[in-house]
Amino acid sequence: MLKFRCILTSKPDEIDHDGEMKDSQVFWFHQDEGKKSSFTLNSSDASSPLKIDKPCHLLIDCSQTGTPWIFGGLEIQTNSRNVEVYAVPEGKDGAEYWQTHRGSREDDDSLLGGNDADPCENELYNAVILSPSSKPESIVKLHVKLLSLRPARCTVGFVRSMKLKGRLPDIQTIMSNVENVTIASPTVSASSQDTATIPVHMPPKRTLLAPPPQLAPLRESTGDIFSALSALTMMIKNIHGSMETALETTSGGIQKMAYSQNSKIVGLEGNVGKLQEGVKSLTVEVMALREENLRLREELQLERISLQLERREMTNDADKIQKLIADKFVCDKDVISKLLDEQRQLIIKEIRGGEVE
């Protein structure tokens, strides 16, 4: 019976003395009822929670170690926002990088852990992993690395559920059918008088347990169709998740841009308002300066007029003074002349009087 196992480990490259990985846990997928190539692993159904300390590695391989198998897709729900996918192709020893997936956040609160659960169980992301078109589908091991654990600064990786699509290659199915072919060699016993059993060997008869040859291609094609439909479904889910992530990223960027533009517009409006207030205040100051200038000009004009009047008055006063001085000088000159004449006459009289005597 085909079975798949999942190994959770923090040290995928370290092997202990028993040939097992160190610090690892092994869990087995359960085959979905009525589906040959669909397998599920839920944390609620496991013997212990699917948790591993950082760094978190998930290694998925077939129960028959080293047997190649067809990878049809993996849908995983973890607290990892990004997952890196590696694979060991058939016929090769080392793992090859496939791709990095960004999960879409789980919005259904009923699938989260709740208030009493660990924080790593309350922020989950869904990722759908498909094999790249350029890579072979037949692999030996799938290696998934959990990155960007949530919530922030979380150091524990948690896997809530995994849905795996996988089957053995067609040639393996044919070989298993051939191994189930048995060759029956019946014996016929006859009874004689002495009750002795005589074996009689009959020609060998082949019994085919595999389906008739004409039905095998139909069953194989039906299995391929189911695998293709499963891969198509997972691809659609992956595209839907990628579109949702892209829309969320785009809408978030648009919202941030709109918020930034609104902030800039509000800032510009505030600056415009400040500029308008500044212009108003400057206009008031200019008007006040103009009025002050007119008042000073009027005062200066009045001062000039008053100075001119004072100068005129001073000029008139100077003329009056000069005239008075001139009039007084003439008057004084006449008085002095009279006094001199009088003195002269007196002197003459005295002289004449002395001569008479």
pLDDT of residue 190: 39
Tracing tokens 């995994």 back to the chain, one arrives at 162
Higher-confidence residue of 52 and 234: namely 52
Please say if the pLDDT value at position 182 is more than 70. Answer: no
Integer angstrom CA distances of residue 244 from 4, 11, 115, 120, 256 = 31, 34, 27, 23, 18
Higher-confidence residue of 81 and 326: namely 81
Burial class (CB in 10 A: 0-12, 13-18, 19+), 89: middle
Please say if the pLDDT value at position 186 is more than 60. Answer: no
pLDDT category of residue 98 using cuts at 50, 70 and 90: very high
272-291: average pLDDT: 91
Token pair recorded at residue 192: 């004689």
pLDDT of residue 332: 76
Higher-confidence residue of 194 and 297: namely 297
pLDDT category of residue 300 using cuts at 50, 70 and 90: very high
pLDDT of residue 97: 93
pTM summary value: 0.49
pLDDT of residue 143: 94
Q: How far apart are CA 41 and CA 76, in angstroms?
A: 10
* Secondary structure class of 31 (helix, strand, coil): strand
Q: How far apart are CA 287 and CA 293, in angstroms?
A: 10
Please say if the pLDDT value at position 212 is more than 80. Answer: no
User: What is the rounded average pLDDT for all residues in the chain?
Assistant: 78
Q: How far apart are CA 211 and CA 222, in angstroms?
A: 14
**pLDDT tens track for 115-141:** 777 888 888 999 999 988 877 778 999
Query: Which candidate, 44, 53, 47, places its Cα nearest to that of 22?
Result: 53
Please say if the pLDDT value at position 187 is more than 50. Answer: no
Please say if the pLDDT value at position 299 is more than 60. Answer: yes
Query: Which candidate, 241, 174, 186, 185, places its Cα nearest to that of 211?
Result: 174
pLDDT category of residue 110 using cuts at 50, 70 and 90: confident
Name residues whose C-beta falls within 8 Å of residue 49's C-beta, 6 or more positions apart in sequence. Answer: 43, 158
* Secondary structure class of 83 (helix, strand, coil): strand
Which H or E run includes 205? Answer: strand 205-207
Q: What is the CA radius of gyration of the chain?
A: 59
129-155: average pLDDT: 88
Higher-confidence residue of 202 and 11: namely 11
311-326: average pLDDT: 86
Least confident of 110-114, 150-154, 189-193, 272-276: 189-193
Tracing tokens 């048995």 back to the chain, one arrives at 182
145-173: average pLDDT: 85
Which H or E run includes 190? Answer: strand 187-191
DSSP summary character for residue 19: S
pLDDT of residue 286: 94
User: Which amino acid, one-letter code, is at 267?
Assistant: G
Token pair recorded at residue 288: 């006040």
* Secondary structure class of 7 (helix, strand, coil): strand
Number of alpha carbons in the 13 Å side-chain half-sphere of residue 265: 6
Q: How far apart are CA 155 and CA 80, in angstroms?
A: 11
